[in-house]
Structure 1
Amino acid sequence: MGKPIIVCEVEKRGIEHAVYNAALLETVLLAYKGEDVVFIAESAHVLAVRDALARASSSHMNRIAWREIDVPQRGAGFGKVMHAEWRWCRRILQACAANPPRLLLICSITDSGLLVLKMMMHARRTRFPIVAVPHSVLSTLALHQSPRFWRRFVNLRQVLRLPHPRSLRYVALGRSIHRFLEEVAPKAATAFRTLDLAYFWARTRLPDPPEPNVVRFGYFGVNSLNKGFDTFFELAEEALRKTSHSEFTMVGFVRDPADCPKYAETIVGVSSTPLSGAEFARRAESLTYAVWCGNPSHYRLTASASFLDALSYVKPGIYLRNPFIEHYFEQMGDIGHLCDTYEEMLEVILALDREFPAARYRSQCENILRGRGIFEPATLAPQLRAIVDECERPGLG
C-alpha cells in the first residue's frame, strides 16, 4: 500500500469555502495522479464539497475517501476552543502515525489550531509534509492587540514565532499577500509559499449581452464590515437618486434578520436566508457588473472569494483599489474598473448608467475568460507539488 494523501478542513462548516475546497481537492488529485486521497471535514461540509466536485464534473471522484470529523465551534471560550483544536489535531496525527502520509494538507487553520499543530509536530517528531492554509486569520498580523486576555498569548504573530517544524509550510493565497507578509512578519514569511486560490468556474463562455436599458450592479457574499457591504449600500442609495437605468442586487445574504429592512428598499434580494445554489447562480448571471468595496487594509493579507465569484460568472467589476485585486489586474489586464476612492466608484457607476461601453465590456469579459486560468486546479497542481517536495528536503527549523 502506498502512502496516503490526506486533505482536511478543520475550521469551516457547511457550505462555507465548499467551492474553494473542492477546487483545492481537485488540485491535489491532479498533482498526484492515480493516487488515492482522503478528505476529512465536518459532515455538512463533506457533503457540500462532494456536491461541488460533482457539479464541476471531476473525473477523479472514485479516488476520494470521505471522512467526518468534529470541527471547533466559533465564538467558544478559550478552554473549549483549545480542547477542540487538540482533539482534531490528535486524531489526525494519530491516524498518520501508523502509515505516514505523503501529504497532509490542511485547507484552513486558525491561530489556536496552528499552535496545537506545531506543538504536536514537535512532540511527535513529525517528518511527513504538512501544508496549512491560513485564510482571514492572516489579517490579524496587521491589527493591534486583542482586548481578550488569552489572545495576548494565543495569536498568530506569537504562534508564528514559535520554533518551526522542518516539514511544515504555509500557503499565502496570492503574491500580493506574500509580499505584505514579508513587510509585517519577515521571519515568518520564509515559511510561506504562494499558491493562488483554486476555483471552479460556473460559466465557461462569454455571457450574453446585458439586458437593454438596465445596468445591474451586484454584491457577492454576506454583509460584513471588511467586505464593505455598507459602502455598497451607500453607493446604491446615492446612485439611485441620480440614475434611471441602474439596479443594485445582493448575491448573498444578510447575517442579522433585523438588518434587512434597512437595506431592502434600495438593494434587490436582501434576505437573511442563505441562497440555494440555483438562486445564487440566477442572481449572479443577471448582473452586469460586480461591485467590490472591501477594506483595502484587510485584503492586504486576505484573499477574496467574492472576486473569484465575479470571475466565475465572467462579470467585470468596479473595485476599490487594494493590493490583492490590483495584482490580478496586472496579471489579467482590463477586467473592470479599479477605483481609488468611494467618489470615483460612484462616478464610474453614474457614467456606466449614462452610456454603456459595449465594446469595452465585451473586451473585459474576454480578458476574464482568458486570464482566469491562473486559478484553475490544472495550473496550480504542479505548484502545489513543488511546495510539498520542498517540505521533504531539509529546510526550515
Structure 2
Amino acid sequence: MIETVNTNTSDSNSKAIIIMDNVIIGNNHLVVNSSIINIAQNLLNESGSGQILFYGESRHMETLATLADTEKDISLQFNSIEVTQPHFNKVLRIISWGKKLYKDAVCLKQIVKEADRIKPRFFIVSTMIPLNIYRFMSIMNSHKKQNFLMFLHGELEFIFKKKPTTGQRIKGFFIEKAIQKAGPNVRFIVLSDYIKKELVRKLSLDSRQIISINHPVLQYTRKNIQLSDPIVFAHLGVANKRKNSKLIFPLADAVQESNYSENARFAIIGRIEEQEIQIASDHVDVMSKNKQAISQEAYISHIEAAHYSLIFLSGDEYVYRISGSLLDSVQFQIPIIALEHQSVVELFEKGGDIGFLCKDFDEMKQVVIKLSQKDPLCTDRYATQIINLKKLSEKFYSKNASEIISEATKS
C-alpha cells in the first residue's frame, strides 16, 4: 500500500468497490482511471459512505492519489501491485512473458481473495491484457455472487479489424472467446453506443451484458468563445498515419493560395511521428520541438488559443479505439471540422451543431476558406457550437456514466 486517503472512518465493507489495473504504468491513462474512481465514488454515494480499494502500479497510484476527489464521504485506499512488461529482447521475451503471466495470476488471486473477504458491491477491472482477460474469466465466473465490471478499451478493434496482423488476430481471439464465455455476473463497459451495437451483433450477445458509456473526460469550461484574428485551425495531439494527419498540409496550402491567408493559421499541437508523416508545408506550425512531446500545460495553453479542431479520420481507424484528439475537442469545447467518420458522426448526432461535418476533403477546404473569409453563414454559428459542445461534454462526465452503470446493473 503506498497511500491511503481517508475521508470517512466507516468500516462498512458491504459498501466497498474494488478497482484493479495491472497494465498501466506511470502517468498513462490518468483521465480514465481517475474518472473510474469518480464513478465508483458516485455509485457508493447512492447509499452514503463506503470504501474504494484501487490496486495498481506504484507510480500510477501516486499520481492518481493527487487527482482523487477526497471531498466525498468515501474512504479511498491505494494499493501498490507489481505491474510487469515483457522484455524487448527476443531471447528474453519468452522468459519474461512466462514470469509476467505467473505474477499476474498470483496477483489477481490475492485481490479476488480480498474481495471474498470484504464482499464489495462491484469488482471493476480497468485495464487487462487480452490473454489475461481470457485466463481470468473462469475465476470471475466461479464467483457467481460477485458483480464484475470490465472496461474494454482499444483492444476491441482487434476483433473487428479487416486486415489484422498475426499478433492482433491472436489478441482478438482471446478477447472474443473471453466475452463469449463470461457468466451473468460479468458485465463489460464499452465507450460508445456504436461499439456496443456492433459487439452484440458480431458475438450474438445479450445486450444487457454490455454497458455503453461515453469515454470519460475531465470537467472544463472554455474561456475563449469568440473568433479572433487569425483564426487558428489546429490538429490536436500526435500527428500520424492512423489519424490521416498528413491532410493538414494541403489544407493549409489551399488557404494560403486564397486571398484570405492572413486570416488563418494552422498548427499541430503535439509532435509528428516523422517515420509516418513528412512535414509538407511551411504554413503549418508544429508546437513540438526536437520531436519531443509537449508538456500538458503547454498543450492546454495552445488548445485554449485554438478556434477549430481538424479531424481527418477515415475508414475503420479509431472506430473501436476512441481518438484522443476527438475527445480533447469535446473536453475543451473546440468546434470540430471533420471528414465523415463513424466516431465523428456519432458525436454530431449526440451534440447537434458542434462544427462542420464534411463529406470529403474538397468540402473541408471550402469550409475552412469560408471561415477564413469570415463568411457570416459559418462564423455566426461559433458561439452556438461552443454552447452545444459544453452540453455534449457534460454527457462525458463521470456522474453521467455512474447513473448509466447504476441503472444497467439493477436488471
TM-score, normalised via structure 2 length: 0.82
Correspondences of 1:1-397 after superposition (within 5 Å): 1-3=12-14, 4-33=16-45, 34-53=49-68, 59-60=71-72, 63-73=75-85, 77=93, 80-81=96-97, 83-98=99-114, 99=117, 100-122=119-141, 124-125=142-143, 127-144=145-162, 146-148=164-166, 151-152=169-170, 155-156=173-174, 158-160=176-178, 162-187=180-205, 191-202=209-220, 204-212=221-229, 214-242=230-258, 243-255=261-273, 262=279, 265=282, 266-271=284-289, 272-355=291-374, 357-390=378-411
Instruction: Show the counterpart of 2:8.
Output: none
Deviations 1:14-67 (A, max 9, x none): 33221232122212111111212122222332234334446xxx6239632122
Deviations 1:279-319 (A, max 9, x none): 11101101000111123413332323322211222210112
CA distance in 2, matches of 1:176, 1:154: 18
Question: 1:216, 1:249 within 8 Å by CA — same for their partners in 2?
Answer: yes
Percent identity of equivalent pairs: 17
1:152–1:332: structure 2 CA closer, same or farther, 3 Å change rule? closer
**Once structures 1 and 2 are overlaid, which stretch shifts more, 131-140 or 317-326?**
317-326
**Once structures 1 and 2 are overlaid, which stretch shifts more, 9-18 or 324-333?**
9-18
Shift of 1:361: 0.4
Deviations 1:119-172 (A, max 9, x none): 4334x5454111111111111122246443795476345434652233111112
Question: 1:220, 1:290 within 8 Å by CA — same for their partners in 2?
Answer: yes
Structure with the larger RCO, 1 or 2 (CA within 8 Å, 6+ apart): 1
What secondary structure does 1:306 align onto? helix
CA distance in 1, matches of 2:94, 2:144: 26
Shift of 1:79: 6.1
1:68–1:340: structure 2 CA closer, same or farther, 3 Å change rule? farther
Instruction: Show the counterpart of 1:394.
Output: none
Deviations 1:88-146 (A, max 9, x none): 35313322314233211122333223112214334x54541111111111111222464
CA distance in 2, matches of 1:264, 1:82: 48
Instruction: Show the counterpart of 1:395.
Output: none
Letter paired with 1:384: I
Letter paired with 1:44: R
CA distance in 1, matches of 2:338, 2:98: 38
What secondary structure does 1:63 align onto? strand
CA distance in 1, matches of 2:18, 2:228: 46
1:154–1:337: structure 2 CA closer, same or farther, 3 Å change rule? closer
Shift of 1:385: 2.0
Letter paired with 1:246: A
Deviations 1:149-198 (A, max 9, x none): 79547634543465223311111211122122234333386632111112
Larger Rg: 2
**Once structures 1 and 2 are overlaid, which stretch shifts more, 184-193 or 331-340?**
184-193
1:371–1:90: structure 2 CA closer, same or farther, 3 Å change rule? same
CA distance in 2, matches of 1:252, 1:388: 39
CA RMSD of aligned residues (A): 3.0
**Once structures 1 and 2 are overlaid, which stretch shifts more, 355-364 or 228-237?**
228-237
CA distance in 2, matches of 1:239, 1:284: 21
Question: 1:215, 1:353 within 8 Å by CA — same for their partners in 2?
Answer: yes
The size of the alignment, in residue pairs, is 383
Shift of 1:335: 0.5
CA distance in 1, matches of 2:155, 2:213: 17
Deviations 1:192-223 (A, max 9, x none): 21111122123x255242332x1111122223
CA distance in 2, matches of 1:149, 1:363: 45
Shift of 1:363: 0.9
What secondary structure does 1:38 align onto? strand
1:196–1:249: structure 2 CA closer, same or farther, 3 Å change rule? same
